[in-house]
Amino acid sequence: MINRTNFIAAMAAASGTVTFAGGRQPKPQFNISLAQWSVRKLHRGEEPGAEKLSPLDFAVYAKNSCGISALEYVNSFYFGKEGNEAYFNELKKRADDQGVKSLLIMCDRCGRVGDPKEAARITTVEKHKPWMEAAAQLGCHSIRVNAGSSGSFEEQQKLVADGLIRLAEVAKPYGLNVIVENHGGLSSNGAWLAGVMNRVNLPTVGTLPDFGNFMINRKTGEEYDRYKGMEELMPFAKGVSAKSHAFDAEGNETTKDYYRIMNIVADSGYSGYIGVEWEGAAPGTTEGILLTKALIEKAIAAL
């Protein structure tokens, strides 16, 4: 006898689609990118026994040392180069020469998006402009910003939403999205940041959910549930950051369940890039990146 479940499955198979529990289609398509923060020790010349890596050679390193063909830049490695069109043309050329795609620029130290003072929020927008120009020049789809603010839970939501709307308006002519990472403070509270996204309600404003950044207050140790947070932030995601700190002998990250998180990512309907962000002390940079990449690939294969 064919029951209702078997009938639906048979019809789905006949149409070429199968829907799993939770409404997920089979095997979402994911690619792997490399966050530049992963190579900070090489850029700073702090890796024992390794040559210092020029930020201009980020694409060469990603492709040839890590087998990764998509990049997430960090603006702090390019401070002093703002507005230098020739420099970013060279950065783009080196990426193009490697067949590597530029995805986004992570913007830090540009002011508080949700500063209580309107003049400061306007200044923050101005400080992001050079990085919007660089992102557009490189062919990125987004800039990543930080949702800094002060005040009550709801006051900060309102202030950050206002700042993001201002940023989105300026980013629009560049063809860029403005995305927010859970990156400390209330931004690491998934419910708070999801509430900000609902307040903004713009197609060009979204999130960059990070597997690891759910520490709200380092002094008190207050930490948000990472799995709950990922579920809350994924509906707005325009990128995903797979942060890693340490691995066991089997190649599993010791502080978080990549398999569980990748199921949350897949169940959200997201498809696109998963960014490697190695932040551990040991092993070295390249090995840490490759371990993270391998674990992401295993977690994707297990979906």
Q: Within 13 Å, how many C-alpha atoms sit on residue 69's CB side?
A: 7
What one-character DSSP code corresponds to residue 185?
Answer: G
Mean pLDDT of the chain: 93
Nearest to 242 by CA among 273, 287, 269, 210: 210
Please measure the distance between the N-terminal and C-terminal CA atoms of the chain and give it in whole angstroms.
Answer: 30
pLDDT in tens, 58-113: 999 999 999 999 999 999 999 999 999 999 999 999 999 999 999 999 999 999 99
Q: What pLDDT score was predicted for residue 6?
A: 41
Give residue for tokens 């209330």: 186
Question: Helix H segments across the chain?
Answer: 4-15, 40-44, 58-66, 85-97, 118-138, 153-171, 190-200, 226-233, 258-267, 285-301
**Per-residue pLDDT averaged across 229-241, rounded?**
98
Residue 24, pLDDT > 70, answer: no
**Per-residue pLDDT averaged across 190-197, rounded?**
98
pLDDT in tens, 242-301: 999 999 999 999 999 999 999 999 999 999 999 999 999 999 999 999 999 999 999 999
b/e 253-279 (16+ beta carbons within 10 angstroms → b) = beebebeebbbbbbbbebebbbbbbbb
What one-character DSSP code corresponds to residue 72?
Answer: E
Q: How confident is the model at residue 28 (pLDDT cuts 50, 70, 90)?
A: confident
Residue 113 · residue 121 · CB < 8 Å: yes
Residue 16, pLDDT > 80, answer: no
The structural domains of the chain, with segments of one domain joined by +, span 28-301
Residue 241, pLDDT > 90, answer: yes
Tokens describing residue 281: 């002390």
Q: What pLDDT score was predicted for residue 23?
A: 55
Share of the chain above pLDDT 70, in %: 91
Q: How confident is the model at residue 25 (pLDDT cuts 50, 70, 90)?
A: low
Strands 205-208 and 177-181, by their bridges, are parallel
Q: What pLDDT score was predicted for residue 27?
A: 75
pTM of the model: 0.91
Q: What pLDDT score was predicted for residue 125?
A: 98
Q: How confident is the model at residue 195 (pLDDT cuts 50, 70, 90)?
A: very high
Q: What pLDDT score was predicted for residue 1?
A: 38
Tokens describing residue 220: 């008190």
CATH 3.30.300.30 matches 28-301:
no
Strands 215-217 and 222-223, by their bridges, are antiparallel
Strand partners, 179: 144, 206
**Per-residue pLDDT averaged across 216-235, rounded?**
96
State phi, psi for 181 to the nearest 5 degrees.
-95, 145
d(CA 211, CA 278): 11
